[in-house]
Amino acid sequence: MTKRYQPPFTLTPTIVTLVEKISEALGRLSVLGENTKTLRLRRANRIRTIQASLAIEGNTLSLEQITAVLDGKRVLAPAKDLQEVRNALLAYEKLPSWNPYLLSDLLTAHQVLMTGLLDNPGNFRSTGVGIMKGEQVIHLAPPVDRVPFLIKELLAWLKTTKDHPLISASVFHYEFEFIHPFPDGNGRMGRLWQTLILAQWNPLLAYIPVESMIHDHQTEYYQAINQSTSKADSAVFIEFILKMIHDSVKESSHVSEKTSEKTSEKILCKIGENNAITIAELALQMGLTTRSIERNLKVLQQLNKLIRVGPAKGGHWELREDSHGH
């Protein structure tokens, strides 16, 4: 029986700690709930993700321009940049339909990302490739005839590994960049597939713009890839990516907490105007689900800002004196 491929990486204390911190931060984020504002935030985050991932590769379109493209408006920009944006918007829209372990889906994703940009999108490279920095070759990718085998091995490992998805997604990202399987689009494909792997583990990660954080630390991103290659151990890259994920989740939690605070203030204000208002009426007036209203009311009662007097039906709310709902 042939031994399965095992990508070389060291499980460092930093990696273990970051996995724990990310899991905790995602737990806090999930209890904040979902309303119309967080749905708008998801759309904005998706646009940030696409803008950042493409900007890493030299695309010039701004967040406002990508929003306009998404809304079907005319945008004055280089044709190549517009094509990259349209492709990426479609790819991230199709993300939930792809299986991270299937080679056919990986090739389809590349075809979607690179249509109109390459002669044969969705096909592995047919020539050798080296990554240049000025006149210096900083990475010589594996020989072209090894590419299909290496990618199949990597996908097989991804499917069977017992490593935490946060770790396996980071390992996959690095190994994919090392193999460099396509003539172009490898960076954006690696980031897209990492998002797919993470979203299968926790759907919240489909809408957290990790790519934006990577773009802000682009030099460190490439340094982490190069250091991992020189050490033949991707721990440096895993630590870097996990830090980017952790910081992105924390940033999203902060935004959601601010949104939740504003929601609570509005609920207190509505009750101040009409203390007999029902949960259904609050939900209708504020554009939220009844579940979201119930969750906020429970928190406000726990914070001693609000009390319920009388039965659930026929009773009324009373604001505490220290409440800011007046």
> In b/e form, how buried is each residue of 223-260, taking b as 16+ CB within 10 angstroms?
ebbbbbbeeebbbbbbbbbbbbbbbbbbbbbebbeebb
- Other C-beta atoms closer than 10 Å to the C-beta of 74 total 6
Percent of the chain, pLDDT > 90?
A: 63
- Find the range with the poorest average confidence among 140-149, 171-180, 287-296: 287-296
What's the chain's Rg over C-alpha atoms? Answer: 24
CA nearest neighbour of 124 among 172, 171, 186: 186
> In b/e form, how buried is each residue of 295-311, taking b as 16+ CB within 10 angstroms?
bbbebbeeeebbeeeee
Predicted pLDDT at 68: 94
CA nearest neighbour of 170 among 215, 214, 108, 114: 214
pLDDT band at 182 (very low <50, low <70, confident <90, very high): very high
Tokens encoding 206: 């489909």
pLDDT band at 74 (very low <50, low <70, confident <90, very high): very high
Predicted pLDDT at 37: 53
pLDDT at residue 325 is higher than 50: no
Phi/psi for 261 (5° steps) reads -60, -45
Phi/psi for 242 (5° steps) reads -65, -35
Structural domain spans, the chain? 13-254, 274-319
Predicted pLDDT at 326: 40
Packing angle of the helix pair 147-160, 103-114 (nearest 10 deg): 120
Tokens encoding 288: 């939220």
CATH label, 274-319, candidates 1.10.357, 3.40.50, 1.10.10, 1.25.40: 1.10.10
Predicted pLDDT at 1: 46
What is the arithmetic mean of pLDDT over 187-211? 95
Pairing state between β 316-319 and 130-133: unpaired
Which residue(s) pair with 133 in the sheet?
Answer: 136
Look at the domain 13-254 and name its fold: Fic-like fold (1.10.3290)
Predicted pLDDT at 193: 98
DSSP 13-82: HHHHHHHHHHHHHHHHHHTT---HHHHHHHHHHHHHHHHHHHHHTT----HHHHHHHHTT----S-HHHH
Between residues 284 and 41, which one has the greater pLDDT? 284
pLDDT band at 137 (very low <50, low <70, confident <90, very high): low
What is the arithmetic mean of pLDDT over 27-36? 66
The pTM score is 0.78
Each residue's pLDDT tens digit, 55-67: 999 999 999 999 9
- Hey, what long-range contacts does 132-136 have (CB within 8 A, 24 or more apart)? none
